Structures are given as C-alpha cells and as structure tokens.
Amino acid sequence: MLSFFKEYKFFGIALLILSVIIISVFYSILNVEKPLPVYQPSKVNFEMVDSTIQHVSKYHKIANFSLINQNGKTITQNDYKDKIYVADFFFTTCQTICPIMTDHMVKIQKEILNDKEVMLLSHSVTPKIDSVAQLKRYAIEKGVNDTKWNLVTGDKKQIYELARKSYLAVKTDGNGDEYDMIHTENFMLIDKKRQIRGYYDGTKPEDIERLLNDIKILKKED
C-alpha cells in the first residue's frame, strides 16, 4: 500500500495543482464585474415617470437641455458630452434632505476632482427662488468647484420635463397644478451615451460608496 502511494505521489501533486488552477479560473469567471443596467421608463417606479413614457422599454436617453448655472453661464448637453455624470434635483432653501444630499455630492466632488471624465449636475426644482445669485451664494457656501459641478436653474417646465421624462427622478404632488414637483433623494448616474445607469439614495453613505464604485465600473466600459 505504501509503495502504491509512493508510485503515484507526483501524479497526486500534479492533480492537486491542476485542481487549484481550475478552481481559481472558475472563481475569477464568477466574480467578473457585471455591467451596470441601463434603466428604462418601464422598469422604474411609475411615480417618478411621466405617464406619456411609462411604457417605454428601450432607447431611453436624457433629452437636450439649456439651463443657467451659478455663474450665469448657459449649460447644455454639450457641456456633458462624452462625460459620465451624477445628477440630482434639489432647492437651496430645503432644510430636510437637501443638506445631506449636498454634503454627499461634495464628497463625490472630492473623489472625482481630478477625473476629467466625470462631472456633477444639480437641478433646482424652485427656479423662481433659486436665481443665479442665490445659486452662487449656495455654491460658495458649499464649496462647489465650478469646473466639476453645475447648479442649474431656468424654465420650470423644462426642469419638470427633464425630471419626469429624462431622469425619471421626481414625484408630482398630484393636485393638478402644472409642473409641480416633489423632489426626491435620488442621485442618478448617467453614462457617456446619456443613458441612466444607476439610482442611489443621496442621503445614505453606503449608497454613495456604491455610486463611486459604479463610476469605476462604468469607466471600464470604454
């Protein structure tokens, strides 16, 4: 019996090594990062989506836009061409979830400050209150870097339609008044093709970490 084991010792060692290699290969395959989903109106909470597009199941993209930032500059989709960006909806006088969301957006700004591929975009849902001057004061107070992060105001109809028909991110108050919005805690991750690739709770630190990781995954797609 002992001689049998001696005779096949090297075969056993080789088999063991081969098994380790095979297991490692399978482990690597199973742990390959999955691509991020592309969100479509039909797959998102219907409360966030305009009724006219709730049926759409493919080809959804962020629409063209033209808004004014904290410096009085016109910001359009061209300023975000070939960029990954994080978008949200807020208002400067909000005392509930907005301060937390803004602090988390500041954290994201810090992480992507030297990354030329990534930007931030925050839309005011109270454009009459959030004038350029008001946005500028808010930007200075919060430490907004003008080269990375635009706080935008403008026509309320356009902002409403962006929120409900493009970003699929805010609720309506349901009272029948045109263009009334209830902003949410949503952060949206947008890819270079203007597609929605992720939703995150902007008040939760763990979601911010997930968002930052998803940005890294998204960058590998190119």
94 is in an annotated binding site: yes
Strands (E), 62-128: 66-68, 74-76, 84-90, 118-124
Residue 94 and residue 69: Cα distance in Å, rounded?
Answer: 18
User: In sequence order, what are the residues at sequence separation of 6 or more whose Cβ sits closer than 8 angstroms to the Cβ of residue 166?
Assistant: 61, 62, 63, 65
Distance CA 169, CA 199 (A): 9
Residue 113 token pair: 């400050």
183 known member of a binding site: yes
Give the pairing of strands 181-182 and 196-201. unpaired
Chain-centre distance of CA 163, in angstroms? 14
- The residues, any chain, with a CB within 8 Å of residue 119's CB and separated by 6 or more, are 79, 80, 83, 84, 85, 86, 112, 148, 149, 150
User: Binding site annotation covers 98?
Assistant: yes
* DSSP H or E run through 22: helix 9-30
DSSP E strands in the chain: the ranges are: 66-68, 74-76, 84-90, 118-124, 149-152, 171-172, 181-182, 186-190, 196-201
Residues of each annotated binding site:
94, 98, 183
Residues annotated in a binding site for Cu cation:
94, 98, 183
